Amino acid sequence: MKNVLFVASECTPFIKTGGLADVIGSLPQALKENERIEVRVILPLYDEIPLEWRNQMEFHMSFNVPLGWRNSEASIYTLKYNNIIYYFVSNTYYFTRKGVYGYYDDGERFLFFSRAVIEALTHLDFKPDVLHAHDWQAGMAVALAKILQPITDMKTVMTIHNIKYQGLMPIEIFEDFFDLSREHISGFEWNGMLNCLKSGLFHADKITTVSPSYGEEIKNPYYGEELHPFLLERSADLIGVLNGIDTKEYNPQTDSSIAVNYRSSRAKKKENKMMIQKKLGLPIAAGKPLYIIITRLVEQKGLHLVQHILDDFLHEDVQFIILGTGDAEFETFFAEAANCHPKKLVTLLAFDEGLARQLYASADFFVMPSKFEPCGLAQLIALQYKTVPIVRETGGLKDTVLPFNEITGEGNGFSFTNYNADDLLATLRYSLRIYHDSLQWSVLAKNVNKSQFSWQDSAREYANIYEQLMPINV
C-alpha cells in the first residue's frame, strides 16, 4: 500500500469557490478504487466551513509552527467522510475569517498553511510516500518538503489547476518567513518576486496540469503567465491529465434537484425546459432553443465575447439564461441586458447549485467561450445532462468537445478557434441551424449521449505517476 497526501486550499463538500474543490473532492474517491493507494487530504480549517462538518471533526494534536522569527500554533482536526480521512489545519488568526480568499495577507496565510503541513508530517499517524500539492496555495509545501525533508524519500507532485494565480509576494518575505540559507532563494524567486507556484514547481519531482492541451499551451507566452520559459525547461516532467467529474453525483436519472429525471430523452428535457421557463417568467415554448451560461462572471470565461454579440444573437428566435456571480462589470451588463430583452434573456446573479442543475437539465446548449480553460468542468456536466456544449478551442475544452461535422457525423458540440466575438456569433448561428435540422440534430444528440468523462481513466494515470515515482519495495 502506498500513501498519498493531497495538500489543497478547498475541497467539496466542505468548502468550495471553484473547480479545484470538485477535483479535490472527487479524485481521492476515484483513486480509492485502486487498492494499492491510500489518499488522505489536508486543508485549512476555515471558519466558513459549515458547522454541520465542523461538529463532526475530532481534535488530533497541536504543535508549534516556526515562521521566521514568529511562532504560531496549529491544531489538526480529523474527519472521516466517505471512507477518506481529511485533516484540517486550524489557526484562529489566519483562518477564522469570513470567506476563503481575498485578504491582503493571503500569501502569508498559505505560507503558514504549507509550513504547518510540513510540521504535521512528523506528527501524523500517516507517512506519505507522495505529497501531492494543488495550486499556488500549496506550492510552498512542496518546496519545504524538498528542503526540510520531514520524511526521507517522500516524493512530490505539483498540479497546476490555473497558472494565472501564482501567489506573488515581495522577495524580502523569504528571509522574513523562512529559516533557510540564501542559496535556496533562486528556487523560490521568479521575475524578482517570491512566487509560491514556481517554488512548488521548481522543487516538485513531477508537474501535472488538468488537460493535455493546457499542458502544451502553458509552455507558450500567450498562456504561460510568464512561467512558460521555466515550464519549457521542465517539459519532460510536465504531464497533462484530464479531469473527470463524479458521474454518480451528476446524473440526470437520479438528480433530485431537477423536475423530471431522464437518461437521454429529449422529450423529458423539454418538460424540464417548460418548468424553468415558467419559473423564470420566460414564454413557455418547448421547441424554442434554450442557451445557457453558468459560470463565475470573470474575464477568463470569455464573457467579453458574449457582451459583444449578445444583442445580435438575441434577434434570433432563442432564449438565453445566465447564472453566476462575479465582477461588477459583467453583473451590471448582463442584468441590464436582461431588462432590455425580458422575453428572451434572464440573468440570475446567484451561486445556486440546485438552480444550476435545473438549467443543465433544461437547456439545449451550454455556452463556454473561455479565453483560457485549464480543464473546465461545466462542459462535462453539460454533456452529462445531454446539453450540447459550445466552446472555444482551448485547454480542456478542446480536449473534451469535438466540433460537429455534418459530413462525417462526428462531434459532440460546437467550437471555434480564435478569441473573436464574430466567430462566437457565427458558431452560435450555426448551432441554431443544426438545431432546426432534425436529421443532423439527432446525429449530434446521439454523439452527446455517448460522451462520458468519468474519473476512471484519469485516476489510473495519476496512479501510474505515483507508482513511477515511488522507490521499488525490496
Pick between residue 89 and residue 210 the one whose CB is nearest to ligand GLC: 210
Minimum separation from the CB atom of position 216 to ligand GLC (A): 15
Pick between residue 19 and residue 252 the one whose CB is nearest to ligand GLC: 19
Pick between residue 150 and residue 395 the one whose CB is nearest to ligand GLC: 395
Minimum separation from the CB atom of position 160 to ligand GLC (A): 9
Residue 267: CB atoms within 10 A of its CB come to 9
Pick between residue 362 and residue 370 the one whose CB is nearest to ligand GLC: 370
Pick between residue 40 and residue 161 the one whose CB is nearest to ligand GLC: 161
C-alpha cell, 260: 423530471
Pick between residue 376 and residue 413 the one whose CB is nearest to ligand GLC: 376
C-alpha cell, 426: 457565427
Contact indicator for 5, 132 with CB cutoff of 8 Å: yes
Residue 33: CB atoms within 10 A of its CB come to 12
Give the binding site for ligand GLC (CB under 6 A).
Answer: 18-20, 23, 161-162, 210, 243, 373-377, 396
C-alpha cell, 171: 522577495
Minimum separation from the CB atom of position 317 to ligand GLC (A): 32
Contact indicator for 263, 253 with CB cutoff of 8 Å: yes
Pick between residue 377 and residue 383 the one whose CB is nearest to ligand GLC: 377
Minimum separation from the CB atom of position 19 to ligand GLC (A): 3
Write out the DSSP string of 91-111. -HHHHSSSSSS--TTHHHHHH
C-alpha cell, 389: 456544449
Q: From edge to edge, which strands make up the β-sheet containing 84-90?
A: 58-67, 70-81, 84-90, 37-44, 2-7, 130-134, 155-160, 206-209, 238-240
Pick between residue 154 and residue 356 the one whose CB is nearest to ligand GLC: 356
Minimum separation from the CB atom of position 298 to ligand GLC (A): 10
| Distance between first and last Cα of the chain | 13
Pick between residue 167 and residue 396 the one whose CB is nearest to ligand GLC: 396
The sign of the torsion formed by the CA atoms of 419, 424, 426, 427 equals: positive
Instruction: State the residue number with the nearest CB to ligand GLC.
Output: 19
Minimum separation from the CB atom of position 209 to ligand GLC (A): 8
200: nearest Cα among 86, 123, 113: 113
Is residue 39 classed exposed, middle or buried when 0-12, 13-18 and 19+ CB atoms within 10 A define those classes?
Answer: buried
Amino acid, single-letter form, for residue 138 = A
Minimum separation from the CB atom of position 22 to ligand GLC (A): 7
Residue 311: CB atoms within 10 A of its CB come to 12
Contact indicator for 26, 380 with CB cutoff of 8 Å: no
C-alpha cell, 430: 450555426
Minimum separation from the CB atom of position 299 to ligand GLC (A): 12
Amino acid, single-letter form, for residue 235 = S
**How far is residue 451's CA from residue 442's CA, in Å, rounded to a whole number?**
15
Pick between residue 118 and residue 377 the one whose CB is nearest to ligand GLC: 377
Pick between residue 233 and residue 457 the one whose CB is nearest to ligand GLC: 457
Minimum separation from the CB atom of position 24 to ligand GLC (A): 9
Residues contacting residue 186 through CB under 8 Å, at least 6 positions apart: none
**How far is residue 276's CA from residue 363's CA, in Å, rounded to a whole number?**
9
Minimum separation from the CB atom of position 373 to ligand GLC (A): 5
Minimum separation from the CB atom of position 213 to ligand GLC (A): 11
Contact indicator for 305, 333 with CB cutoff of 8 Å: no
